[in-house]
Amino acid sequence: MYRFWLIVMLLFCSYAYVLPRWSDWNQNSRLNLVLALVDDGSPRIDRYVENTGDYAIYNGHAYTDKPPGLSFLGVPIYVMMRPLLDAPPVRTQLERIGDRFEKTLNPEGSGLRIDKIRFALIQYALTLVLVALPAALFGGLFFLVLRRLGVAPIPASIGTLAYGLATSAAPYASNFYAHQLVAVLLFTAFVLSWSPHSGWSPVVSGVVVGLLLGWAVISEYPTALAAAVIGLYAVYRHGWHWLVSLTLGGSFPIALLVMYDLAAFGTPWPIGYAHSALWQEQHHTGFMSLVGPQWEAIWGLTFSDFRGLFFRAPWLLLAIPAYWFGWKQRTHRAEWWVLVLVPLSFLIFYGSSIMWWGGFAAGPRYIVPMIPFLALPAILFSASVWSRPGWRSGVLFLIAGSFGLVWMEVTATQLFPTDAIRSPWSDYIVPAWRNGEIARNLGMVLHLEGPLSLVPLLLLITVGVIFLFRSLPGDQPSATTVQPTLVSLPVVPPQG
């Protein structure tokens, strides 16, 4: 468990180090709903709508046009925070901390008003509790899954850190988006369906899986396709009696969504995007912007420098030979299908949208939930060739390059690249680094500026990795450990 907690600590500190973007419409829209529900007792965000362009207008009032799942989770956290935030000593300290970021502000902006500092602190706190912490704990779970699959400690550790820090999961684990939370929910539901917790009854396991899948859906609606794949897999694996438990668990978040939609839009259906104040033409093209698979979108989400997943994390391409070998093994075919179909569901869905790029974004934010389903087979393939020095060096080179690319984009200036910049590296990211325009981070609290503000983070990661590897007994599996295969986690036999 020492390694588990060290990995969790490394990931959490890395995610917490770079502050959420303050002027991001997507994040502000989600946070506006939290404030409205608590401060106003209403889903209307009329009082806060000026800080975002991601909102819907219905019957003369403003509402977020985002799925409300992440905002729902933020309500109890903000309820507990609010008395402390409004205490006079805290407000004084907020002003002092805000002064540390004065040089990162737009000179033509409104400055650091106390209400903006308060909003930013709430955003940061909710991000830590609801996104960064679950993502970090998920890293620990991911490591344990790899170990149970027969991966030796060192490649399992490197693979886990590669997923958490060297893919597009990283920027969305440190911002108030729902994408990385959805990745955690979906993959955890898959793991629990694959190998249920030994201390839970089948009913409890099914309810928990249903709850996870349901909350993923109300956090990002297109997740329904992937959730259906995992739900069908759970029923196949455990029998039709699980369908009742899955339905029971999923009904709670769906009921919350229905109540919210009735209160906001007078209908049980999630139609926020249908009333978006902006991009009405796009939302009403085809079915909610879906027009069928487009080559430009598929390429853009995978290999382009604009939003390409594999451009930023080429080591994930190792999933392709893993899929091939997994198919040839002809064992545990059901798990293989889940690992293939979940990524395909995201690629086909967003590859069919005329708005596939996702506005302001660091990489392909829409398909972040599919990354662990690629990372698992990619790491298993890496582990199978780890004993070969040439292959091992190649894997490490790909991971190191991915880490550099991801974190250059994560830390470049105060906003993610807009979709108007089709060559973000040459036109946005590299110029930002050249000019010393680095995203707000905790190093600036120590009066460090520009790239120097990232030195404490690099030192933390370096020291943590050294301690992690020194704590490991070696890179060879023990005599009782099975060799890595695509799917060798102990599972119950299919029923029904």
Q: What does the DSSP assignment read for 301-319?
A: HHT-TTT-HHHH-GGGGGH
In a domain, 126, yes or no: no
Name the band, by pLDDT with cuts 50, 70 and 90, for residue 493: very low
In a domain, 280, yes or no: no
Residue that wins the pLDDT comparison between 96 and 12: 12
Residues present in the chain in total: 496
Residue that wins the pLDDT comparison between 69 and 100: 69
In a domain, 47, yes or no: no
pLDDT given at position 22: 82
User: What is the reported pTM?
Assistant: 0.92
Is the pLDDT reported for residue 10 higher than 60?
Answer: yes
Residue that wins the pLDDT comparison between 407 and 118: 407
Q: Are 410 and 18 in contact (CB under 8 A)?
A: yes
Closest CA to 298 of 248, 251, 353: 353
Closest CA to 119 of 23, 12, 14, 17: 23
Name the band, by pLDDT with cuts 50, 70 and 90, for residue 490: very low
pLDDT given at position 99: 61
Phi/psi zone of residue 447: left (φ > 0), alpha (ψ -120 to 50 degrees), beta? Answer: left
Query: Rounded to an integer, what distance in angstroms lies between the CA atom of residue 179 and that of residue 25?
Result: 15
Is the pLDDT reported for residue 494 higher than 60?
Answer: no
Q: Which amino acid would we find at residue 104?
A: T
pLDDT given at position 94: 66
pLDDT given at position 460: 95
Instruction: Read off the pLDDT of each residue in 23-51 and give the average, rounded to a whole number.
Output: 96
Q: Which of 105-119, 136-150, 154-168, 408-422 has the lowest mean pLDDT?
A: 105-119
In a domain, 488, yes or no: no
Residue that wins the pLDDT comparison between 270 and 362: 362
DSSP state of 47: T
Domain of residue 291: give its range. Answer: 2-20+138-266+287-470
Please give the backbone phi and psi of residue 412, each rounded to the nearest 5 degrees, phi first: -80, 115
Q: Are 146 and 379 in contact (CB under 8 A)?
A: yes
Name the band, by pLDDT with cuts 50, 70 and 90, for residue 461: very high
In a domain, 487, yes or no: no
Q: Which two tokens stand for residue 4?
A: 């588990």
The mean pLDDT value of the chain amounts to: 90
Contacts for 243 with CB less than 8 Å, ≥ 6 apart: 235
Task: Report in angstroms the alpha-carbon separations of 278 from 6, 25, 327, 415.
Answer: 44, 12, 45, 20
Burial of 366 (0-12, 13-18, 19+ CB in 10 A): buried
pLDDT given at position 115: 77
pLDDT given at position 2: 84
CB burial string 156-170: b at 16+ within 10 A, e below: bbbbbbbbbbbbbbb
Q: Which two tokens stand for residue 237?
A: 């694996």
**Residue range 405-421, pLDDT digits in tens:** 999 999 999 999 999 99
Query: Rounded to an integer, what distance in angstroms lies between the CA atom of residue 133 and that of residue 73?
Result: 13
pLDDT given at position 496: 43
pLDDT given at position 309: 98
Instruction: Read off the pLDDT of each residue in 276-283 and give the average, rounded to a whole number.
Output: 75
Q: Are 275 and 57 in contact (CB under 8 A)?
A: yes
Q: Are 373 and 230 in contact (CB under 8 A)?
A: no
Instruction: Read off the pLDDT of each residue in 109-118 and give the average, rounded to a whole number.
Output: 69
Percent of the chain with pLDDT over 70: 89
Q: Are 61 and 265 in contact (CB under 8 A)?
A: no
Instruction: Read off the pLDDT of each residue in 466-476 and give the average, rounded to a whole number.
Output: 71
Burial of 42 (0-12, 13-18, 19+ CB in 10 A): middle
Q: Which two tokens stand for residue 337?
A: 């299908």
In a domain, 274, yes or no: no
In a domain, 250, yes or no: yes
Is the pLDDT reported for residue 110 higher than 70?
Answer: no
Is the pLDDT reported for residue 306 higher than 50?
Answer: yes
In a domain, 79, yes or no: no
Closest CA to 17 of 458, 457, 463, 459: 457
pLDDT given at position 112: 60
- Number of domains into which the chain is organized: 1
pLDDT given at position 107: 59
Strands (E), 145-302: none
Q: Which of 253-267, 281-295, 299-313 has the lowest mean pLDDT?
A: 281-295
Instruction: Read off the pLDDT of each residue in 396-413 and give the average, rounded to a whole number.
Output: 97
Percent of the chain with pLDDT over 90: 76
Q: Which of 45-54, 80-89, 193-202, 344-353 has the lowest mean pLDDT?
A: 80-89
The strand pairing partners of 61, in sequence order, are: 58
Contacts for 57 with CB less than 8 Å, ≥ 6 apart: 63, 275, 277
Instruction: Read off the pLDDT of each residue in 79-89 and give the average, rounded to a whole number.
Output: 84
Query: Rounded to an integer, what distance in angstroms lies between the CA atom of residue 481 and that of residue 216?
Result: 33
Residue that wins the pLDDT comparison between 413 and 480: 413
